Amino acid sequence: MNDNAGHQVTGRFAPSPTGALHLGSLVAAVGSYLMAKRDGGRWLVRLDDLDVPRQLPGMADDILRTLETFGLQWDGDVARQSRNTGEYQRAFEVLRQQGLLYPCCCSRKDLAMASSAPAADDGSIPYVGSCRNGLPENFAVIRSWRLLVGEGEIRFDDLRSGVVCQRLDRLCGDFAVRRGTGEFTYQLAVVVDDYLAGVTQVVRGDDLLDSTPRQIYLQRLLGYPQPEYCHLPLVTGPTGAKLSKRDHLVSHSLGSCAGRERDLLIAVLRFLGLRPPVGLEECPCSDILQWGVTRFDPCMLPAQGGVCSATCVSTETAASQKEAR
């Protein structure tokens, strides 16, 4: 299934259709595009659409049109997580046959009460192993299936952050790969998705850095090759907080950037450490991206995130996105 052969580099961008693209998403899209294309590789787009209740009608198409508006043309067909559930189940069975999975009845509230460790950057609460040796006699419902985590250290070399070391048993403990209702979690799904598509390079926001060791752990257990990783600096608001789904939108349908896409691309290139020459903003988006492809270097990425100085982005409120439902 893995079509990695014959492709030296395969990168990807995997947005979720739970909201319009914001400026941080555009930075991730452009960064992953430049990284893949600078080595003559492929750039894929996948819609991470497993979270059905949170999806907004028409948002998947809007995301794709937005990418096209900025000259970001993907290779091949758009992939969708919702088409890979059979493959997730197969990976789940491989892990179960190895004796690495067990059912857990703990709710998120139970986890928060039992754990004294702070939550990871991705919001996950460390699991203390309450159900590791079997479910309690009076359990009401299985809430998740968890993967056994050993005491070893996961190390990998991030192209921006350098060597990253993490003890999964201390940061997150045995983590969930499937919910009790049958849905597979992000950690398992993204590992299988990337393997199926032959992804060799994962370029994404720094907020997912904490998740990467979990994904590498799964790759090793499933016998999948490990992609190269680069976690980009995060775009923040003026207060330093990470942008939410409703902040600084660059959506095609909202039209807030109509006619100013080139200025925004220039701002994104600057945020990624490049120095576009005067006059480049007069060129088509495709030419701006090509200039970036020939000059992008992960060594130039800033050590810290911050505000991306782009003036044409929308700061739509939550109510405006609610209307899109």
Which stretch of DSSP H or E encloses residue 186? Answer: helix 186-197
What CA–CA distance (Å, rounded) separates 246 from 301? Answer: 26
- On whether the CB atoms of residues 194 and 212 are closer than 8 A, the answer is no
Q: Is residue 157 part of a domain?
A: yes
Q: Is residue 109 part of a domain?
A: yes
Which stretch of DSSP H or E encloses residue 157? Answer: strand 153-158
What CA–CA distance (Å, rounded) separates 292 from 237? Answer: 25
Number of domains observed in the structure of the chain: 2
* pLDDT reported for residue 112: 73
Q: Is residue 175 part of a domain?
A: yes
Are 181 and 203 found together in one domain?
A: no
Chain-centre distance for alpha carbon 168: 19
Q: Chunked in runs of 10, what are the mean pLDDT values of the chain (325 residues)?
A: 63 94 93 96 96 87 94 97 97 98 90 62 74 88 95 95 95 95 96 98 96 97 98 86 70 64 94 96 96 97 86 45 36
What CA–CA distance (Å, rounded) separates 151 from 133? Answer: 17
* pLDDT reported for residue 165: 97
Are 38 and 70 found together in one domain?
A: yes
Are 99 and 141 found together in one domain?
A: yes
Are 72 and 200 found together in one domain?
A: yes
Are 309 and 200 found together in one domain?
A: yes
Q: Is residue 169 part of a domain?
A: yes
- Of 146, 166, 188, the position where a domain reaches its end is 188
Are 201 and 304 found together in one domain?
A: yes
What CA–CA distance (Å, rounded) separates 26 from 264? Answer: 9
* pLDDT reported for residue 123: 57
- Of 131, 157, 188, the position where a domain reaches its end is 188
217: closest CA among 187, 180, 186, 252?
187
Q: Is residue 310 part of a domain?
A: yes
- Of 131, 156, 188, the position where a domain reaches its end is 188
Chain-centre distance for alpha carbon 61: 19
Would you state the structure tokens that stand for residue 280, as one six-digit string? 């480049």
Domain of 149, CATH number, reads 3.90.800.10
Domain of 201, CATH number, reads 3.40.50.620
Q: Is residue 1 part of a domain?
A: no
Are 314 and 206 found together in one domain?
A: yes
Are 313 and 201 found together in one domain?
A: yes
Residues of the domain holding 28: 10-76+195-323
7: closest CA among 200, 251, 226, 185?
200
Are 33 and 169 found together in one domain?
A: no
- On whether the CB atoms of residues 209 and 121 are closer than 8 A, the answer is yes
Are 65 and 139 found together in one domain?
A: no
Q: What are phi and psi of 230, to 5 degrees?
A: -145, 120
Are 97 and 184 found together in one domain?
A: yes
Q: Is residue 4 part of a domain?
A: no
Q: Is residue 120 part of a domain?
A: yes
* pLDDT reported for residue 323: 36
Tell the burial category of 139 from Cβ atoms under 10 Å away from its Cβ (0-12, 13-18, 19+). Answer: middle
Are 100 and 176 found together in one domain?
A: yes
Would you state the structure tokens that stand for residue 219, as one six-digit string? 């790759």
- Mutual orientation of helices 285-295 and 23-37 as an angle, nearest 10°? 60
